[in-house]
């Protein structure tokens, strides 16, 4: 999907088409860098979803800058964000991801081992109950409830990944 910009110069019509390059045809991205390739694929998908011009306008960038990111000539913001998360402590990274998820109407749930998820869910639920037990609900209380929901969601995902556990033997 490309956007076409038509300008008229005298009697000549110049047509310029911006095309989003296929990731596999890009020569600037080495095959041994899966993070860069995957981040670029996601960035390209976002651009394609609305078109280069609309996407550039939403970010306050020029279409040339977007095309340079797609060509690998300028840093990819998705790749940079992932590298920022990898360079930070997990709690700080989780907070940044959760903020983004909340801005989009969701919440972040980290995948944990079953035992860790169970302990975390109990702890977070206890903190949430303590936070709202006074009848006053503050922003901090809302955060505690959100963390409890995330912990319970993480526990459910851990249980689903592990598979059903056998129940007690039935007496016949």
**Gap between the Cα atoms of 6 and 3, Å rounded:** 10
Number of H helices, E strands in the chain: 7, 2
What range does the domain containing 20 cover? 3-83
70 and 113 in a single domain? The answer is no
Q: Which structure tokens are listed for 28? A: 């600037």
**Gap between the Cα atoms of 13 and 19, Å rounded:** 19
Supply the DSSP symbol for 23. G
pLDDT for res 15:
34
74 and 114 in a single domain? The answer is no
**108 part of a folded domain:** yes
**61 part of a folded domain:** yes
Supply the DSSP symbol for 88. S
pLDDT for res 167:
53
57 and 71 in a single domain? The answer is yes
pLDDT for res 30:
58
pLDDT for res 13:
32
pLDDT for res 6:
41
Nearest Cα neighbor of 77 from 32, 28, 44, 29 is 44
**172 part of a folded domain:** no
Could you give the number of structural domains in the chain? 2
Tens of pLDDT, residue by residue, the chain (172 residues): 443 334 444 333 333 333 444 444 454 555 578 889 999 999 999 999 999 999 999 999 999 999 999 998 999 999 999 999 999 998 899 889 989 988 988 877 776 666 777 777 788 888 888 888 888 888 888 888 888 888 788 778 777 776 655 555 555 4
pLDDT for res 8:
40
**48 part of a folded domain:** yes
pTM of the model: 0.55
Q: Which structure tokens are listed for 141? A: 């209380």
**3-class SS of residue 108:** coil
């Amino acid at each position: 999907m490309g956007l076409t910009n038509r300008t008229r110069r005298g009697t000549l019509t110049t047509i310029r088409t911006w095309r989003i390059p296929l990731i596999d045809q890009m020569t600037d991205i080495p095959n041994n860098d899966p993070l860069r390739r995957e981040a670029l694929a996601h960035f390209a998908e976002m651009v394609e979803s609305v078109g280069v011009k609309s996407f550039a306008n939403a970010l306050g960038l020029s279409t040339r800058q977007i095309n340079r990111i797609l060509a690998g000539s300028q840093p990819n913001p998705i790749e940079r964000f992932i590298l920022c998360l990898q360079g930070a402590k997990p709690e700080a990274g989780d907070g940044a991801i959760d903020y983004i998820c909340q801005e989009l109407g969701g919440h972040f749930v980290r995948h944990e081992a079953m035992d860790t998820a169970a302990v975390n869910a109990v702890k977070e639920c206890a903190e949430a109950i303590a936070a709202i037990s006074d009848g006053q609900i503050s922003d901090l209380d809302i955060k505690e409830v959100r963390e409890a929901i995330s912990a319970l969601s993480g526990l459910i995902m851990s249980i689903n990944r592990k598979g059903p556990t056998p129940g007690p033997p039935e007496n016949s």
